[in-house]
């Protein structure tokens, strides 16, 4: 299986299951979080993060456009700016907005995959602003799909804790 085929399959699958989970969120639960302690995101903040956790980063790796000002130097950022506390994270106002943004992020992810050749995916170095480890582009893009998967799992547990009827089938899209 090629990098392109693997990544396309993973993107399609992960976004589909994530969208299904979004459909279980209630607008009146967007302020809910598991605990007032331990730096938890609200459900709305988690949805916002989910809608930016894959395609946006893929765009950064493929095009070099991270959406930052030209004179931005990530090495000058303070640790608390790189990973701010949950209360400083943006949120969403509705599940409909989350679904729209998730669809847009998937479109970006698929557009970025279409820009890559197999050779680029297999050999092009893909440094990350947050990680100095050497990695090829295909591996970095797969990590971004895994990033979305991780937050999909987090949403699953948020829903479970809210008493929603979720089970293994909901988590894996079966």
| 75: in domain | no
Q: Please report whether residue 133 resides in a domain.
A: yes
Query: Is 139 within a domain?
Result: yes
For residue range 51-69, list pLDDT tens digits in order. Answer: 999 999 999 999 988 776 6
Q: What is the pTM of this model?
A: 0.90
> What's the structural domain count of the chain?
1
Please, which pLDDT band fits residue 70 given cuts at 50, 70 and 90? confident
Band (75; pLDDT cuts 50, 70, 90)? low
pLDDT of 85 higher than 80: no
- CATH number (domain holding residue 15): 1.20.120.450
Alpha helices, DSSP H, located in the chain: 3-22, 43-50, 55-63, 79-82, 95-115, 118-123, 137-161, 168-172
In a domain, 76, yes or no: no
Range of the domain at 28: 3-66+89-167
Confidence of residue 81 (pLDDT cuts 50, 70, 90): low
User: Is residue 174 in a domain?
Assistant: no
pLDDT digit string (tens) for 131-172? 878 999 999 999 999 999 999 999 999 999 999 999 999 999
């Amino acid at each position: 299986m090629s990098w392109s085929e693997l990544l396309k399959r993973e993107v399609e699958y992960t976004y589909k299951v994530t969208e299904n989970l979004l459909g279980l969120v209630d607008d009146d639960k967007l302020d809910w979080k598991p605990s007032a302690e331990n730096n938890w995101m609200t459900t709305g903040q988690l949805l916002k993060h989910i809608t930016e956790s894959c395609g946006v980063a893929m765009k950064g790796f493929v095009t070099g456009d991270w959406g930052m000002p030209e004179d931005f130097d990530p090495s000058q950022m303070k640790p608390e700016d790189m990973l701010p506390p949950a209360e400083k994270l943006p949120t969403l106002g509705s599940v409909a907005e989350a679904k729209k943004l998730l669809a847009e992020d998937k479109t970006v992810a698929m557009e970025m995959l279409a820009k890559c050749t197999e050779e680029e995916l297999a050999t092009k170095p893909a440094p990350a602003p947050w990680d100095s480890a050497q990695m090829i582009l295909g591996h970095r893009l797969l990590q971004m799909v895994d990033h979305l998967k991780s937050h999909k799992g987090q949403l699953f547990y948020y829903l479970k804790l809210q008493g929603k009827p979720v089970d293994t089938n909901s988590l894996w899209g079966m």
